[in-house]
Chain A
Amino acid sequence: MKSAEEIFSLLKEKYNDGVMELVKQPVDPYITCDPLLINHISLFLMTHEELLFDNLMNLSGVDDANGKSAPVNGVNTIEGGTLSVYYHLESTKFRHKIVLRVSAPRENPEVESVTLVWHSADWHEREAFDLLGIQFLNHPDLRRILMPEDWEGGYPLRKDYANPEFYRGMKVPY
């Protein structure tokens, strides 16, 4: 069983700039990482013999809404800032847990997919893509999962989401 500090120093040693910092907060501390290296970091965490993080408990996309917000045509829009993805990992052998966080710029949110490391990431990543518009690079099957296939009204879980006026020619709200 390793503490968050030990896991962080192992990662820092191996990836240097790819791993930024260990953020301490009241409940679960997390490690911030480079979104374009996350697949390598994941593979390392899963295969390292003292870590063996074999279970991805959860993967969540979050709109940080930390950019500049300004009303455009009466609709609040956010410019700049980041979208984040949180990874909650656990080792079923050693019983330790860790949280990773990657942040990508809002205008071009590209994050490497970890589906090839943990298959459970497949649908979680599709959900984050569907509802927040995060692009997961090298995902085997990145398409909508919860919203209709022909949805064009934007990304519902972004903080500046506004309801579309029409859906398939029908006025909303009808």
Chain B
Amino acid sequence: MFAYLVRRLALMFVTLFGISVIIFVLLRVVPGNIVDILFDAAGFVDPADKANLEKELGLSQPIIVQYFNWISGLLRGDLGYSYVSEKPALQEILPRIPITAKLAGLALLFSTSIGIPLGIISAVHQGTRLDYTLRVVSLSGLSLPSFWLGLLILMASVSMFGTMPIFNPNPKTWTEAFAIYAVPALAVGFRFAALTMRITRSSMLEILRQDYIRTARAKGASETSVNYHHALKNAMLPVITVIGIEAAFLIGGLIVTETVFNIPGIARFLVEALRWRDYPIVQNLVMFIAVVVVFTNFVVDLLYAAIDPRIRFGD
């Protein structure tokens, strides 16, 4: 177990190092840096001013030195300065994290509390009209772009209440907090609920085909007991893994949803920073996302071993 943990942690660092290199190089091949954009916007170009600014921002140094500066700063907790706001990147990023985390948590809560029960119902009633309907609904959930769903929700809110939910960091009433967080979370969570439902269904069906289920039926166990006592526990294992891994990928849906609902979280911030070529923000945000994903995978792996006694690492 210990050897496995060490190996796994080492691999995690290799992966994170690889991501840092890829992101850094990708951002440096971008045609036109912030200095070009600023000077284009100003409408005049004085080469001396431009060179000065590039030097000030550290863009004139060799790329390897720039990379080294970034990583050594990262390890010291110094993420550099945003080119656009000229504030420390950490100050820009930190306050946005709780907003996105709340949205992601709510979306996850919605999707699992809807997706898992529907998946079980669909599997238990396999081949019936109910199963068919649920499958079509879940497939349509996977087909709707979450930004469009968000726009439709805005449209419905305009036609019903005559207004749209506007983000407010300190909601005064419960209804306001609900409109601010729960509605966008629903837009992101819908797709994830569909995914959870499909995985739960197929995992449940797989288990229901096993010999021990037939044995349980043969010894006279009731349908309820077979489905919920014998099958469900084992069927949940792969579901938990997939939820854990996919949860980190909710960020994809959050990027567009935060944009639609104008929510100042980290997902929308990434898009804004990309448009502005604000390297310090982009590279640190992408690193942050990667750390979350890699760490979640690691925790899910350990959790899996904790839940399922058949799995032991390091053998």
Tell me if chain B binds chain A.
no
